[in-house]
Structure 1
Amino acid sequence: MSRYIKLMDESSDEKQQLREDILLGLSQTDKQIQSKYYYDEVGSELFNQITRHPDYYLTGCELEILNQYKEDISTRLGEDAFNLIDLGPGEGIKTGLLIEQFISDYRAFTYVPIDISRKFLDHVIHRVNAQFAGIETIALNSDYLVGMDWLMRNSGKRNVVLFLGSSIGNFDLESTTDFLSTLRTFLRPGDFVLIGFDLRKDVDILMRAYNDSDGLTREFNLNLLKRINHDLHGHFNVDAFHHFGTYNVHTGAMESYLLSLEEQTVEIDDLNTAFTFRKFEPIHVETSYKYLHSQVEKLAADARFKILKNYSDRRGYFINSLWQAD
């Protein structure tokens, strides 16, 4: 049985939010486009291709971890009924590995995917229902924390929160602490969180992952400009921008930019605004932090969680860290 609950403010039209964010981002001295706008239909398909590319190690590492340790994870969660909360479920493949194990272990749970995109929710619900008939599902169309607040007020079950992939790395370090601390306020003592952390490693490995040999990441980033052209009637010449991915040795983060290859002015009709770009001026589009084990430990402690287990792939590239709320 599936329920769909829309918690998005009806006045917060997605296209209006896009207008506001693009206007703000491109009006700043250091121009930026938020990475959440990657995932239109084209961008989502490109990202799926990236995750299957041999240069992009992250997905394979996490699938290896979940396949190897799903039984141990299930055992540690105990036998009481719980909400399986999936923050940004994506395609649902990784979550499916855990659901399969929980069913095998006769765990009683309600699957609760949370995403701001109705399209993504529809996709994952269809996939889960097709693969696991009869699962109780409550799909929350909302911001993560708004969804967590609703669930806390409407369910008395224990909670198991999944934040898979390397999504946590897209926050800056201060925002990561704030997010995890706020998440903790919506959990009860004894609730669980399973978070994916991409670890620091050889810079060449990182550079290949974010500058893959087939140019998929390049197309993925440039698609942001194509989306603005399509959704906001922009006039970006995509060929006049270059994808540049680099590693910041000071912050431990991969950073992605679009560089203007010439001095140019770009009009966006829906914003009734023209934006000027200097030659080689960057637009920041993504930051992906890579972590040390000590940083993961500090994040957990600062947000009032204890680490039960860090599950690692065989190469030590990635961990899924199982936390419990104090």
Structure 2
Amino acid sequence: MNKNFQKDIDLGLSATNKTLPSKYFYDEIGDALFVEIMKMPEYYLTKAEFDIFKNQNQKLIKALKLETTTFFELVELGAGDGTKTKQLLKALDQQQYNFDYAPIDISEHALKHLKASVNSELPKVKISTKQGDYFNVLADLKQSEDPIIVLFLGSNIGNLPDARAKEFLQKLSDNLKNGDRVVLGVDLIKPESIVLPAYNDAQGITKRFNLNLLTRINRELDANFDINSFKHLPEYTEKEGIARSFLVSTTKQTVTIKNLNKSFNFIEGEKIHTETSRKYNDQILTDILGQSSLKIIDRLTDSQNLFADYILEKCKV
């Protein structure tokens, strides 16, 4: 049994304002549902960043100051299915850059499929996967003497509260050498009419994705969540710039989790906060980078200006 999963679920459901960590969305079913989400007409994030990686990969390579004569490690945090990254890998491979690709993800299932697809589509690219929470593998970066390029895409940074994002970027900076660079993908602040449907699609895929977390707890921790007595609820206002997803109890109920030897009471209308998705602009990101030694050196946006990939460089303070 995953002891971290058990501990995190206990902590989250025991809190006054109940929460469940979004990283646990990604079991095998969750992975498949997220692939469906990325294809939804309402879900602009993946398409917008894919636009950058497909149509501006030369600008990206130039912004990263890459040279064909210098070996580097391309490390991706939270790699998922690698759809966007493979556009960059193809360009680097075709132009004979000398690099290794090291995707990291919490989902072993996703990494297995990513490695198989890279081996099939880009047999010359050396790929070495690592399963785990990317918070816990940052120290591994420090062991490398070679230049490192870190990809942190998909606005995954937006799943962290601002204070935690600041802490994460500081820790990332501490584990990089001067001159190492980061591609940080972030969703830009935009109207509610664009953002909210991305988290509440007409087909109900996002609802299934959110509710699957309860199914996973039932399966792995021997719980008795009644999936039909919870509903999916997203919230967003442009002024705040933060989208949040909740599971809401539609009735007064008690849920027992046998592996925790605990029961949890819910009142009608009580929320479980499952995900935060912060949206950014230049000022917000600058504030979050704060006094860290990661500095913005470039910024690429998609053709509709929905999404941005910031290029950060570790500089001497």
8 A Cα contact 1:177 1:302, kept in partner: no
**In structure 2, which of residues 108, 116, 130 is the aligned counterpart of residue 118 of structure 1?**
108
Aligned counterpart, 2:6: 19
**In structure 2, which of residues 97, 112, 120 is the aligned counterpart of residue 107 of structure 1?**
97
Q: Distance in 2 between matches of 1:299 and 1:74?
A: 25
Report the residue type matching 2:285 in the other structure. V
Q: Which runs of 5+ in 2 are unaligned?
A: none
Shift of 1:322: 1.0
Aligned residue for 2:128, secondary structure, equals strand
Report the residue type matching 2:278 in the other structure. Y
Shift of 1:136: 2.1
Shift of 1:302: 3.0
Aligned residue for 2:16, secondary structure, equals coil
Identity %: 37
Aligned counterpart, 1:65: 52
Shift of 1:137: 2.4
Aligned counterpart, 1:78: 66
Q: What number of residue pairs does the alignment pair up? A: 312
Do residues 322 (structure 1) and 311 (structure 2) align? yes
Aligned counterpart, 1:202: 191
Q: Distance in 2 between matches of 1:227 and 1:218?
A: 14
Report the residue type matching 2:22 in the other structure. S
Report the residue type matching 1:156 in the other structure. E
What are the Cα deviations for residues 175-229 of structure 1, in whole angstroms up to 9, with x where unaligned? 0010001101111111110011101101111111111111111111111111111
Aligned counterpart, 1:186: 175
Aligned counterpart, 1:221: 210
8 A Cα contact 2:152 2:185, kept in partner: yes
Aligned residue for 1:221, secondary structure, equals helix
Q: Summarize the Cα distance change of 1:146–1:29 in structure 2 as closer, same or farther, 3 Å threshold.
A: closer
8 A Cα contact 1:92 1:127, kept in partner: no
Q: Distance in 2 between matches of 1:64 and 1:310?
A: 14
Q: Summarize the Cα distance change of 1:271–1:53 in structure 2 as closer, same or farther, 3 Å threshold.
A: same
Shift of 1:250: 5.8
Aligned counterpart, 1:31: 18
Shift of 1:301: 4.9
Aligned counterpart, 1:139: 129
Report the residue type matching 1:196 in the other structure. G
**TM-score, structure 1 as length reference:** 0.92
8 A Cα contact 2:188 2:281, kept in partner: yes
Q: Summarize the Cα distance change of 1:275–1:301 in structure 2 as closer, same or farther, 3 Å threshold.
A: closer
Q: Which runs of 5+ in 1 are unaligned?
A: 1-12
Q: Distance in 2 between matches of 1:146 and 1:238?
A: 32
8 A Cα contact 2:189 2:238, kept in partner: no
Report the residue type matching 1:194 in the other structure. V
**TM-score, structure 2 as length reference:** 0.94
Shift of 1:317: 0.9
Q: Distance in 1 between matches of 2:135 and 2:247?
A: 30
**In structure 2, which of residues 28, 31, 43 is the aligned counterpart of residue 41 of structure 1?**
28
Aligned counterpart, 2:247: 258
8 A Cα contact 1:19 1:271, kept in partner: yes
Q: Summarize the Cα distance change of 1:212–1:72 in structure 2 as closer, same or farther, 3 Å threshold.
A: same
Q: Distance in 1 between matches of 2:131 and 2:14?
A: 30
Aligned counterpart, 1:161: 150
Q: Distance in 1 between matches of 2:62 and 2:191?
A: 34
Q: Distance in 2 between matches of 1:43 and 1:294?
A: 33
Stretch moving more, 45-54 or 144-153: 144-153
What are the Cα deviations for residues 31-67 of structure 1, in whole angstroms up to 9, with x where unaligned? 1111111011111111110110001110110011111
What are the Cα deviations for residues 70-91 of structure 1, in whole angstroms up to 9, with x where unaligned? 0122233221210000101100
Do residues 92 (structure 1) and 79 (structure 2) align? no
Aligned counterpart, 1:5: none
Shift of 1:231: 1.1
8 A Cα contact 2:162 2:288, kept in partner: no
**In structure 2, which of residues 287, 293, 316 is the aligned counterpart of residue 304 of structure 1?**
293
Do residues 150 (structure 1) and 140 (structure 2) align? yes
8 A Cα contact 2:231 2:250, kept in partner: yes
Report the residue type matching 1:123 in the other structure. H
Report the residue type matching 2:201 in the other structure. D
Report the residue type matching 1:78 in the other structure. L
Do residues 283 (structure 1) and 267 (structure 2) align? no
8 A Cα contact 1:193 1:324, kept in partner: yes
Aligned residue for 2:81, secondary structure, equals coil
